[in-house]
Structure 1
Amino acid sequence: MTHSPLHTRLGRTGLQISKLAFGTVNFGGRLDEAGAHRLLDHAVAQGVTFLDTANTYGWRVHKGHAEEVIGSWLATRPSRREDIVLATKVGDPMDDSPYRQGLSVRNIVSACEASLRRLGTEWIDLYQIHHVDRAVGWDEIWQAMELLVAQGKIRYTGSSNFAGWDIARAQEAARQRHFLGLASEQCVYNLVTRHAELEVIPAAQAYGLGVLVWSPLHGGLLSGILRKLRENTAVKSGQGRALQALEHHRETIEAYEKLCADLGRDPAEVGMAWALSRPGVSGLVIGPRTPAHVDGALAALHEPLHQDALDRLDALFPPIGRGGPAPDAWLS
């Protein structure tokens, strides 16, 4: 693969990924199968070749639906499989059974095989632990992942929603087993929620993990929510945590949208461009519903913010404490 501004290596690995990952959390309910296929075609044609899903996504229809949609897309476009990086997740409950949740060897292996069937593929490029399971030891988790790597069912492992010390424990246990361990950490990180700067991102950088940012717009709060509410066009941003957060951040969001207007940029582009500018960040997981959402994310990537704009955003959304990693961030 030729190098381009759209692609980067995932942490210390040799795996090339697009800096934008197509997240599939909207498959089912917000995006039907035919619409999802068209959107995948558009994104891949624009160079967004990193697809991120989870075995529980699509729950508005049924858990596993998002993987099935990707599988049906690949079935009619088999040549695409060689041109994409496919990531999914394991660990969250698929149902009430104690055998279809958590990070036991039994569940990791059986969940991987079920994901492969739904996805209609022979391998998963990045198999991510959806949430840490501190009831299970890392020797057991790595035993399962080593088996799947040896069988050719997965290529790399990743984490999601880990604390910094979880990353450290995972990597030290992997090192003792002479195993690569985690290739990436997927964490929530945006202008409003900057906690990852304290320990998660520094830990990822120290161990050579790529950082994949989910919710770079805080559920739509940073996507122009006030304008959308005025125009009655808010979809995701008009509900859930974005609307709840607006109650506490309205003045700041008003100033943010004014700043974006001064820059002549869409608020969603600005929020994503800020996240892409941050040290240690490999890429963003976006959850598009329309081709315009994909194109806006590409504009954020190809048109980075100038330092003056970054400084003004820091003034509006200051880092925690004195900024930077812990413990200096909170030392007075």
Structure 2
Amino acid sequence: MDYTQLGRTGLKVSRLCLGTMNFGPVTTEEDSFAIMDHAHELGINFFDTANVYGWKKGEGITENIIGRWFAQGGGRREKTVIATKLYGGMGDWPNEDRLSALNIRRACDASLKRMQTDYIDLYQAHHVDRNTPFEEFWEAMDILKQQGKILYVGSSNFAGWHIAKAQEEARRRGTVGLVSEQSHYNLLVRAAELEVVPACEDYGLGLIPWSPLAGGLLGGVLRKIDKGRSASENIVKELDKHRDKIERYEAFCDELGEDPANVGLAWLLHQRAVTAPIIGPRTLEQLDGTVKALEVTLDEKALARLDEIFPGFKTAPEEYAW
């Protein structure tokens, strides 16, 4: 396993981040335990979750699964850099969602209890809260740091200017600020290149791409359909919009002799500011398959070919101005 620093911090994390969103709704607790144990065997130390995962309001199903896995001991907690998120509604009463100081305090305590740990390595805002000023956000996060409940703070789904605003307020307070941003970023969805990637580079944030395979479109979807595998209604709809690109992509992967999923992940690992794409295996076999992406090297010619198939963006404002 390859490791890198998380943004400008001294924290070392694996180049692949284990996403746990499937744990509970799709993957059984027993299989989830096996996947997390195997991730450690492969050297993956970076796990990502969220208080809303499990998708039953207020239950924190996925965090509870992780907590019961940690409780087995064997160094599981100590070997894991655990990242979780808050923002989504955990109840129907006011102040049970978003980023108010009250919800930050309560949500953190609830996540700690569910995960059976006394600290969170990376505590992330799952979305920007336009109703909460960053002064309030940072005061609440700084208190959690002082209490030893969290070590680092990250964002998710922030625009470039949200990152800048958050960082400038943190600078005014004399604190570290954000150390990472979790963004929707893959070969097919490259809008982050306009302002989010430059903001991460300038402020020293590690970029953690979610949905690195565009919901499966970059994972060899045409091959799977040809072999008789069924596809969801959403995948079929998206495939209809992007079929020409996907056909060219899978043909190029054949030329390279590589699995499309591994090429998609390898491309992200070659991109500026990217720390670790989030992989979301449902099975042990899928986990073993994704790790092979670390062995894929894309030269300049291959990267240029992928840019032809999936055109990206220049940094703003050059993309739309002089």
The question of a shared fold, defined as TM-score above 0.5 by the shorter chain, is answered with yes
Specify whether residues 157 and 61 from structure 1 end up closer, same or farther in structure 2 by C-alpha distance, changes over 3 A only. closer
Residue 271 of structure 1 corresponds to which residue in structure 2?
264
Matched, 1:302 2:292: no
Determine helix, strand or coil for the equivalent of 1:282: coil
Instruction: Please show how residues 215-294 of structure 1 align to structure 2 within 5 Å.
Output: 215-234=211-230, 238-239=231-232, 241-294=234-287
Specify whether residues 73 and 272 from structure 1 end up closer, same or farther in structure 2 by C-alpha distance, changes over 3 A only. same
Determine helix, strand or coil for the equivalent of 1:281: coil
Q: Provide Cα deviations, 1:103-154, integer angstroms capped at 9, x if missing partner.
A: 1111001000000000000100000000000110001000110010000000
Q: Is the 8 A contact 1:86 1:125 kept in 2?
A: yes
Q: Provide Cα deviations, 1:66-112, integer angstroms capped at 9, x if missing partner.
A: 00010011111252211110000011111222221011111001000
Residue 184 of structure 1 corresponds to which residue in structure 2?
180
Determine helix, strand or coil for the equivalent of 1:274: helix
Tell me which amino acid in the other structure corresponds to 1:215: S
Q: Provide Cα deviations, 1:153-174, integer angstroms capped at 9, x if missing partner.
A: 0000000000000000000001
| Count of matched residue positions in the alignment of Structure 1 and Structure 2 | 322
Q: Is the 8 A contact 1:221 1:243 kept in 2?
A: no
Q: Is the 8 A contact 2:206 2:273 kept in 1?
A: yes
Specify whether residues 221 and 128 from structure 1 end up closer, same or farther in structure 2 by C-alpha distance, changes over 3 A only. same
The 1-side partners of 2:12 and 2:242 are apart by: 37
Instruction: Please show how residues 53-92 of structure 1 align to structure 2 within 5 Å.
Output: 53-59=49-55, 63-92=59-88
Determine helix, strand or coil for the equivalent of 1:268: helix
Instruction: Please show how residues 1-332 of structure 1 align to structure 2 within 5 Å.
Output: 6-59=2-55, 63-234=59-230, 238-239=231-232, 241-320=234-313, 324-331=314-321
Tell me which amino acid in the other structure corresponds to 2:23: F
Q: Is the 8 A contact 1:124 1:154 kept in 2?
A: yes
Q: How far 1:240 moved relative to its partner?
A: 5.9
Greater CA drift, 71-80 or 60-69 = 60-69
Determine helix, strand or coil for the equivalent of 2:127: coil
Give unpaired runs (5+ residues) of structure 2. none
Specify whether residues 269 and 156 from structure 1 end up closer, same or farther in structure 2 by C-alpha distance, changes over 3 A only. same
Specify whether residues 150 and 61 from structure 1 end up closer, same or farther in structure 2 by C-alpha distance, changes over 3 A only. closer
Q: How far 1:241 moved relative to its partner?
A: 4.5
Specify whether residues 253 and 130 from structure 1 end up closer, same or farther in structure 2 by C-alpha distance, changes over 3 A only. same
Q: Is the 8 A contact 2:188 2:214 kept in 1?
A: yes
Q: How far 1:59 moved relative to its partner?
A: 1.2
The 2-side partners of 1:82 and 1:95 are apart by: 31
Determine helix, strand or coil for the equivalent of 1:83: coil
Q: CA RMSD in A?
A: 1.4
Q: How far 1:326 moved relative to its partner?
A: 0.5
The 2-side partners of 1:230 and 1:67 are apart by: 37
The percentage of aligned residue pairs carrying the same residue is: 50
The 2-side partners of 1:153 and 1:61 are apart by: 24
Specify whether residues 240 and 95 from structure 1 end up closer, same or farther in structure 2 by C-alpha distance, changes over 3 A only. farther
The 1-side partners of 2:91 and 2:206 are apart by: 31
